[in-house]
Structures are given as C-alpha cells and as structure tokens.
C-alpha cells in the first residue's frame, strides 16, 4: 500500500510537470494563431491522440509483460523489449503507406486548406510507437520516476517548438510539428535511461517471448482505442459540425478538460502495473484501487468545480480573451472528464485482472457517442453533454463491475479457507 501511494504521488507529480509544458505549448499556439487557426491545431492534436492508440496500447502490453518477467531477472525483460521495439518500428513504418494515401481525404473532411498539417501529424506515428515500447519497459520495471521524465522531455520538445514557431510568426504547419519533435526527444531520454541501467542484453529467445505472451491481449488495444476516440473525437467532429470560430473555442475548452485525463492516466498507469504485480504474488488488490481512486476523485472534482466557478480566469490564463464562447464549456467539460478519469482507473484495474466487461463496454460506447454527436449535437455545448452522458454511463458500469469482482474474490477466499 505504501509503495503504491509513493509511486502514484511521485509519478503523478513528475508527469504533471510534463503535461504542464504540453498545456503551455498549446496556450502559446492559441494566443499566436487565434480561434480559427487554433481550431486546426487542436484538431491535429486530437488526431495525434488517435494515432498513438497503438503506441499506448503497446506500452501497456509491454509493461504487463516486463512486470511478469521480472521474476526471471531484468535481462529477460530487456530481451522482450528489444523484440517489441523492432516489431513496432517495422509495423509503424509499413502503416504509414496506407495512412499517407488518405491524407488528402482527411484534410478535406476536416476543412483544411492544405493537406500538409495532416501529413506531418501522420508521420509522427513512428516515433510514438518507438517511445511506447521504451516507456513500456520503464513502466513494467516500476521505474515511475524515469517514466515521468520521458513525459517531461516530450513536453519540453513541444514547448520549445511552439515558442520558436510563435517567435518567427509561423503558421499552422510548424505548430503541428510539436508533438513529433517532443516524441523524438522522449525517445532519446528513454534510451539514455535504459542503457544506463542495463548491460547489453542477449538476443530475444522464443522462451522469453512465450513466457511473456500468455493469451492474446485484445482487451488493452480495444480499451485504449475506444477511450481515445471517446475523449478526442469531440474536437475532430467540431471541425465538421461547427463554424471555424466555435470549433476553435471548443478546442480551447478541451485544453482545460484534458487536465483530469492527464492526472487519471498517470494514476491508472501505477494501478495497472502494481495490480499486475500483486496478482502474480497473490496479494489483496482492493487497496491498490480504493486509495488512488478516492484521491483522484477529490482532485478531479476540484478541477470541475473551478471550471464552473471562474471560467473567465481560466480562459485568460489558457488562451487569452479571444475565446469568450469557451467560458461556458469549462465546467461541463471538466465534469465529463471527471467521469472519464474515474473510468481510467477502473479500466486499468480491470485490464490488470484480465477482465472483459469494461473494454467491451467502451468498444460499444465509442461508436454510439460518434453517432449521437452527429445526430443530436449542433453546438459545442451539445457535443460536451453527449460526452458527459457516455462517460457517466461507463462509470456506472465500471463501478458495478468492480463490486462484482470483489464479491467473487471474497467468495473464493472463503471457499479456500473452508476447504
């Protein structure tokens, strides 16, 4: 329990520094570009979040496998990482061909004047896949401080790029490069940290990979794909449904609304790794869920309250006075992301336990949210309310699933003690 609380607080603290740089970078872009052009940058940032679905899924899978292999010694985990790194690089490069082929279509659907921003965004897939594997190795070994440092480096890369773009008066294109350059800086930092702590590993063996694999893990990519869609499709659909100015205001509100998600993903990363480790040793896992979940709910609830209490102050700090329509969105957006933040922690625990209910529920909810947004929402506030309804429903399913799992654990323990 003490290990989990220490890991959670230290990792969240370091990670928040990195994400603070993300937000400052986005704020620089918002002030430099204005609502119409910032709507394009916001849409590209949300496209990045969708493109890195396989990267983050890969991080979670590698983290679980490396944590499992720790009992065989650290060298086994490094051999696994080397194999996954090679696979990710080849697969990511191959995936660029079909993605680049639809760049013009994406640009047209999102009402972009040029396909170049979409092109640069898609090319960033490869470095994100690579950094996903490297982060997975750090994550699985429980090196949360080093894992957080990679986020700080990524944020620093984004911040430096956006400041440089604003200084030279660049247009949208240079701002769009920020995520890719940040990922490259994170790769460099992760490589240095991993090389500093490991002797050169021997080549991966079939025995190593078989020991780590277990059953095919389709739950992690399904959950993360659905989650990324549900929390990022709003700004993308806003580009198609709303006018340029209102879409930019929605993108500005999303900057504030993403704060709860950032915190929740950091907490959830610790919950997943520690629950996987506790499960392999037969320890009780309830405390690993309740303490982080309670603290997270308080923090995210406070963020939502601030969004309702002082929206003009938030707007002036984040993006400046040119986004008056964003002020009414901060509170509801914070509330929607509170629900999705709680969902993150419940889902990470479910993934660590090998459960299927929440991943499947999220997989079903994602297309429902898209259809409901297209059919029912014609304003930015309507898009946010659809998101809030979906997040609240999934939270209820997640809570019921956690209670049912706990009851099953108690019954199994009573049966074992009776026999």
Q: Which of 309, 303, 311 is nearest to 329 (CA)?
A: 311
Coil, strand or helix: which one is 216? coil
Q: How far apart are CA 226 and CA 212, in angstroms?
A: 25
* pTM of the predicted structure, to 2 decimals: 0.67
- DSSP labels, 6-55: HHHHHHHHHHHHHHHHHHHHHHHHHHHH-HHHHHHHHHHHHHHHHHTHHH
238 pLDDT above the threshold of 50: yes
Most confident of 200-204, 279-283, 318-322: 318-322
What value does the mean pLDDT take over residues 164-179? Answer: 84
Q: How far apart are CA 55 and CA 187, in angstroms?
A: 13
Q: How far apart are CA 71 and CA 54, in angstroms?
A: 27
Task: Supply the pLDDT for residue 366.
Answer: 93
287 pLDDT above the threshold of 80: no
- Among 1-5, 140-144, 170-174, 343-347, whose mean pLDDT is lowest? 1-5
Please, which residues have CB within 8 angstroms of residue 350's CB and are 6 or more apart in sequence? 357, 358, 359, 398, 401, 402, 405
pLDDT tier, 285 (very low <50, low <70, confident <90, very high otherwise):
low
User: What is the residue range of 326's domain?
Assistant: 2-418
What value does the mean pLDDT take over residues 224-233? Answer: 86
216 pLDDT above the threshold of 60: no
Rg for the chain, CA atoms, rounded: 21
73 compared with 270, residue with greater pLDDT: 270
Q: How far apart are CA 66 and CA 305, in angstroms?
A: 39
- Among 87-101, 139-153, 327-341, 400-414, whose mean pLDDT is lowest? 87-101
Task: Supply the pLDDT for residue 387.
Answer: 92
Q: How far apart are CA 21 and CA 161, in angstroms?
A: 11
Contact 88, 223 (CB under 8 A): no
In this predicted model, what pLDDT tens digit does every residue of 1-53 receive, in sequence order?
A: 555 556 566 777 787 888 888 878 888 888 888 777 777 777 777 777 776 76
Helix (H) or strand (E) holding 257: helix 244-281
151 compared with 210, residue with greater pLDDT: 151
385 pLDDT above the threshold of 90: yes
47 compared with 189, residue with greater pLDDT: 189
Task: Supply the pLDDT for residue 154.
Answer: 92
Task: Supply the pLDDT for residue 27.
Answer: 82
**Chain mean pLDDT for the chain:** 76
Most confident of 81-85, 212-216, 332-336: 332-336
Please state, for a pLDDT cut of 90, what percent of the chain lies above it: 12
- Among 131-140, 179-188, 371-380, whose mean pLDDT is lowest? 131-140
User: How many folded domains does the chain comprise?
Assistant: 1
196 compared with 220, residue with greater pLDDT: 220
Q: Which of 239, 235, 233 is nearest to 329 (CA)?
A: 235
111 compared with 125, residue with greater pLDDT: 125
What value does the mean pLDDT take over residues 151-175? Answer: 87
Contact 269, 292 (CB under 8 A): no
In this predicted model, what pLDDT tens digit does every residue of 348-376 receive, in sequence order?
A: 888 877 788 888 999 999 999 999 999 99
204 pLDDT above the threshold of 50: no
Task: Supply the pLDDT for residue 86.
Answer: 62
Please, which residues have CB within 8 angstroms of residue 224's CB and are 6 or more apart in sequence? 53, 56, 57, 60
279 pLDDT above the threshold of 70: no
Contact 267, 344 (CB under 8 A): yes
């Amino acid at each position: 329990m003490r290990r989990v609380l220490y890991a959670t607080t230290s990792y969240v603290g370091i990670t928040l520094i990195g994400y603070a740089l993300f937000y400052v970078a986005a704020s620089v872009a918002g002030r430099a570009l204005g609502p119409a052009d910032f709507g394009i940058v916001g849409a590209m940032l949300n496209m990045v979040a969708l493109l890195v679905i396989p990267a983050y899924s890969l991080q979670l899978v590698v983290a679980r496998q490396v944590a499992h292999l720790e009992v065989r010694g650290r060298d086994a985990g490094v051999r696994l990482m080397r194999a996954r790194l090679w696979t990710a690089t080849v697969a990511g490069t191959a995936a660029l061909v079909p993605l680049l082929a639809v760049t013009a279509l994406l640009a047209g659907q999102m009402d972009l004047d040029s396909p170049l921003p979409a092109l640069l965004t898609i090319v960033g897939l490869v470095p994100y896949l690579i950094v996903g594997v490297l982060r997975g190795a750090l994550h699985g070994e429980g090196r949360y401080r080093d894992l957080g440092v990679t986020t700080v480096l990524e944020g620093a890369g984004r911040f430096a790029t956006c400041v440089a773009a604003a200084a030279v008066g660049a247009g949208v294109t240079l701002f769009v490069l920020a995520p890719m350059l940040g990922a490259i800086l994170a790769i460099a930092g992760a490589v240095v940290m991993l090389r500093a702590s490991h002797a050169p590993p021997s080549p991966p063996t079939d025995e190593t990979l078989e020991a780590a694999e277990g059953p095919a893990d389709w739950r992690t990519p399904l959950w993360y794909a659905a989650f990324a869609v549900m929390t990022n499709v709003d700004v993308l659909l806003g580009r198609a449904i709303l006018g340029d100015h209102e879409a930019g205001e929605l993108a500005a509100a999303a900057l504030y609304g993403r704060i709860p998600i950032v915190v929740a993903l950091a907490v959830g990363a610790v919950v997943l790794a520690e629950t996987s480790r506790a499960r392999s040793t037969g320890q009780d896992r309830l405390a690993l869920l309740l303490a982080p979940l309670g603290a997270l709910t308080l923090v995210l609830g406070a963020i939502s309250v601030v969004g309702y209490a002082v929206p003009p102050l938030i707007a002036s700090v984040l993006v400046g006075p040119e986004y008056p329509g964003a002020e009414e969105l901060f509170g509801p957006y914070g509330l929607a992301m509170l629900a999705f933040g709680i969902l993150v922690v419940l889902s990470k625990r479910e993934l660590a336990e090998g459960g299927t209910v929440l991943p499947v529920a999220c997989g079903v909810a994602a297309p429902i949210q898209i259809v409901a947004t297209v059919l029912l929402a014609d304003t930015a506030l309507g898009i946010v309310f659809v998101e809030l309804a979906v997040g609240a429903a999934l939270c209820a399913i997640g809570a019921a699933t956690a209670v049912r799992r706990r009851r099953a654990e108690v019954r199994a323990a009573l049966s074992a003690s009776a026999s």
